[in-house]
Structure 1
Amino acid sequence: MKKYEVYKNIRKGAMIWGLPISLFAMMMLSILASLLIIIFSFSLLVVIGAILWNGMLYIGLTKLARKAILLNFNKVFPKIISNKKENILYDVDY
């Protein structure tokens, strides 16, 4: 009987084929674009080029995903949201 492991690292982020969701979506867009190119300009060199491109992209994205430091972005939202004017000159009522 086959055993399945429980994925306990769900808080680290969902992974598909070793890629985070955003990088996996980029990989799928590349595959779809290469399929369209193959369909509309069918030749052996185009097929080999598309396979090599998608393979190199996958290898590059998996290496990028393993280096988590490169994917850490600054927080978008500030800690405090306030309507208070920052400049003292605007505090005067007319």
Structure 2
Amino acid sequence: MKQFEVYRNIRKRALIMGLPVSSFALMMTSVIGSLLFIIFSFSLKVIISVFAINGKLYIALTHLAKHPTLLHFKRVFPKAISNKKTSFLDYDDH
């Protein structure tokens, strides 16, 4: 009888085929759109190019899922928040 392990890391991230849910939805939208494209313009070049485009999209999305810092351009918050004076000018009266 086969035994299954309990999946305890459900809060980490849900993955479908190695992709987060939003990336999987983008991939499935691309697959459905490419199927419609194949149906309405049937030729060997179209079929090969659609498979190549979907393959490249899948590879790019899995790469972005493994390295999410590639799309992180700007830091929203500073590393440290401090009340320390940032300049040596003294503005108060002594």
Instruction: Give TM-score, length-normalised by structure 1.
Output: 0.69
Q: Please name the residue that 2:40 is paired with.
A: 40
Match status 1:4 vs 2:4 = yes
Percentage identity across paired residues of the two chains: 58
* Runs (4+) off by over 6 Å: none
Q: Please name the residue that 2:22 is paired with.
A: 22
Gaps of 5+ in 2: 77-94
**Separation in 2 of the partners of 1:8 and 1:68?**
23
* Root mean square deviation of aligned Cα: 2.1
Question: What CA deviation, in whole Å up to 9, does each residue of 1:15-73 have, x standing for no partner?
Answer: 0000000000000000000000000000000000111111110010000000133467x
Q: What SS is found at the alignment partner of 2:11?
A: helix
Equivalent residues, number: 75
Instruction: Give TM-score, length-normalised by structure 2.
Output: 0.69
Which structure shows the bigger proportion of residues in helix conformation? 1
Gaps of 5+ in 1: 76-94
